[in-house]
Structure 1
Amino acid sequence: MSTSSARSGRSARQPSRAGPWPGPAPAPLPAGSTLDYYLIRPDNAAVAGPAGILVEEFALGEGYSAVRLDSTGWTAGSRRWQDASAFSRGMRTDAGLRERVVGVSRQEVEFVYRHLGGGELPGEETLRGYFEEGTRLPGSAPLRLSPARVTAGFFETRGYRILFTAGLDPDGLTTLLGTWRMAPRQHDTAAPTGIVGTARRGIGRDAFTWELRRIGAGAAWSVDLTADLAGNRDDAIGPLLRELTTAARLAGLIPVTIERFR
């Protein structure tokens, strides 16, 4: 994959805290980790422990919308990693399959892989080499959900939506609200739709606001990010989208896509 045609986590860097808004310290990504890791439970509930590993990566286009989902998988006893595109698609549409998947860190996968007889977990560039065709995501111009506007005092304002499957339990929700130190927007955080919480952060001279939202009568979740850019550089957007996606994934949600809507 050419870096001129798509952006991936491999070039991402953590944004700094400096900026016009006080915000939570960035929840650091595990050292050296830019891929998404999952453990897969056996389809037989009587069997304890994970049965396999799934590794994914969203490739982002020039505007930071997701253009492709790449994946590879490994099952206990296997000698090689295999294409996992069908499984990746299935766990986003099949609630039963989704119940078997748990988002984890690379460190957790390293332990499980060794415990299941795989040895040392391959490095991330090696894992990327196991990706095959992947799943291409619909590409389009930014969705215009509202009239174009620029926040006063800024050069450009953009909006992004990270869409997730349903499945965030109360403990996961509490964890996510705490991670982002979100100010609740609803007295009833169990309401079926609407904004659950809002957080802000400044990165350099840019300002970012994101909302955690239930959509579709609770059928899905989203993180809606507003990026107010002070100049024509957008370097901070990619790393922040990844950070937000990772935090939600580790809390129990499964990312579906990233769209730019203005």
Structure 2
Amino acid sequence: MSVGEGGATGRWPGGGAAGWNVPAAPARDAITAPATLDYYLVHPGPAGGEPRGRAEGLVVEEFEYAADHSAACLHSAAWTPQDGGWWSSADFSRTMRLDAALRRRVVAVARPDAAAAYHELGGGDLPDEGTLRGHFHDAAPLATAPLRLTPGHPAAGPGETRVYRVLFADALGPDGLAHLRATWRMTVAGDAGDPGARVLGVARRRVGDDAFTWHLRRIGAGGPWCLDLTVDLAGGRDDTIRPMLRELTTTLRMRGLLPVTVERFS
């Protein structure tokens, strides 16, 4: 999926699944599990304007991953009071990433904020995440073949090094960049005011014996942003990778960047 202007078309509100048999929302669980879906509010606003006023609907998304932790497809469902039920559209998910005017109306939120907006708009209690996944009917497929940057294949098991790229739509503003540099204790690697600067910060962390290094990168002057994650696996397991990808992607998502895909480079 490329990032830019134009491309796919979508409808909001409307374009819902009139006639779908949408199950009623269940009562709220007594014990709430940690949220694993991505939640967005869509606000009204003139073309090119900033989000304003009360949200007019919700979008819920989830990336499905291949065995190597690259993204295989993107699931989504949306709800508006006008439609009265949940509907699923891969085309709308693409449009969120391709249409800059629509992106400016989309705000990432935590599940409690999504639940509050859903209730305020007359939806009642926000369904649990298992029920929300039941509304995922139209997935957007993503490329899954690793993009090898080095010849041959890396050795499996202990000592394996992998490189992942999380590609985002939109750009990170000065305040967002400063927040990330402080949150991640990044080594400043470039001046954001310099159009030629590409890598704008580097951070490192160890999880058990596995080492993670990530570079916050700008792809071209005025282009999209990405996060390149290098993983040095100490043992024969790779189960630390997906939680780290999830954490880093969520942090950037909550600063206004919209994730497009997760690619594996090596």
Measured against the shorter chain, the TM-score band is 0.7 to 0.9
* Structure 1 residue 240 corresponds to structure 2 residue 228: no
Structure 1 runs (4+) greater than 3 angstroms displaced = 43-47, 146-151
The equivalences for 1:102-113 within 5 A come to 102-113=107-118
Task: Tell me which residue corresponds to 1:227.
Answer: 231
1:39 aligns with 2:41: yes
User: Which residue in the other structure is 1:126 paired with?
Assistant: 131
What is the CA–CA distance in structure 2 between the aligned matches of 1:173 and 1:148, rounded to whole Å?
36
Structure 1, gaps ≥5 residues long: 1-29
Distance in 1, Cα, partners of 2:164 & 2:107? 25
1:82 corresponds to: 87
| Structure with bigger RCO (C-alpha 8 Å, 6+ apart) | 1
Work out which of the residue numbers 251, 254, 262 in structure 2 matches 1:250.
254
Normalization by structure 1: what TM-score?
0.82
SS of match in other structure, 1:114: helix
Amino acid paired to 2:189: R
Secondary structure of the residue aligned to 1:63 is: coil
Cα distance in structure 2, aligned partners of 1:89 and 1:40: 15
* Counterpart for residue 135 of structure 1: 140
Deviation at 1:88, TM superposition (A): 0.8
How big is each residue's C-alpha offset from its partner over 1:116-154, in whole Å with a ceiling of 9 and x where there is no partner? 1111111111100000031011221x2122456979xx6
Aligned to 1:51: 56
Instruction: Tell me the secondary structure at the aligned position of residue 189 of structure 1.
Output: coil
Q: 1:202 to 1:164 in 2, by over 3 A?
A: same
For the pair 1:173 / 2:181, whether they are aligned, the reply is no
Contact 1:77 1:116 in 2 (8 A): no
**Alignment of structure 1 residues 62-77 onto 2, 5 Å:** 62-77=67-82
Q: Give the total of aligned pairs.
A: 229
Once the two structures are superposed, residues 52-78 of structure 1 have per-residue CA deviations (whole angstroms, 9 ceiling, x without a partner) of: 111000000001110000000011343
SS at 1:200 equivalent: strand
- Structure 1 residue 97 displacement after superposition: 1.1
Amino acid at match of 1:260: R
- Give the Å deviation of 1:179: 2.1
TM-score, normalisation: structure 2:
0.81
CA distance in 2, matches of 1:96, 1:251: 18
CA distance in structure 2 between the partners assigned to 1:63 and 1:169 by the alignment: 32
Shift in CA distance, 119/33, structure 1 to aligned 2, threshold 3 Å = same
- Percent identity over the alignment is 51
Alignment of 1:191 with 2:194, yes or no, is yes
Distance, in Å, in 2 between the alignment partners of 1:61 and 1:149 is: 17
Give the 3 Å change call, closer, same or farther, for CA 255–137 of structure 1 in structure 2.
Answer: same
SS across alignment from 1:256: strand
Measured after TM superposition, the shift of residue 43 of structure 1 is: 4.1
Could you tell me how far 1:86 is from its partner in structure 2? 1.7
Alpha-carbon distance, 1:216 to partner = 2.5
* Structure 2 counterpart of 1:84, one-letter code: S
Letter of the structure 2 residue corresponding to residue 131 of structure 1:
F
Residue 10 of structure 2 corresponds to none
Shift of 1:167: 2.6
CA gap 1:70/1:149 in 2 versus in 1, 3 angstroms: closer
Distance 1:86 1:61 in 2: 22
**CA RMSD between the two structures:** 2.0
Measured in 2, the distance between the counterparts of 1:47 and 1:189 equals 28
The CA deviation at 1:31 is 5.7
Residue 232 of structure 1: CA displacement? 1.2
The answer to which of 96-105 and 156-165 deviates more is: 96-105
Q: Does residue 203 of the first structure (1) align with residue 222 of the second (2)?
A: no
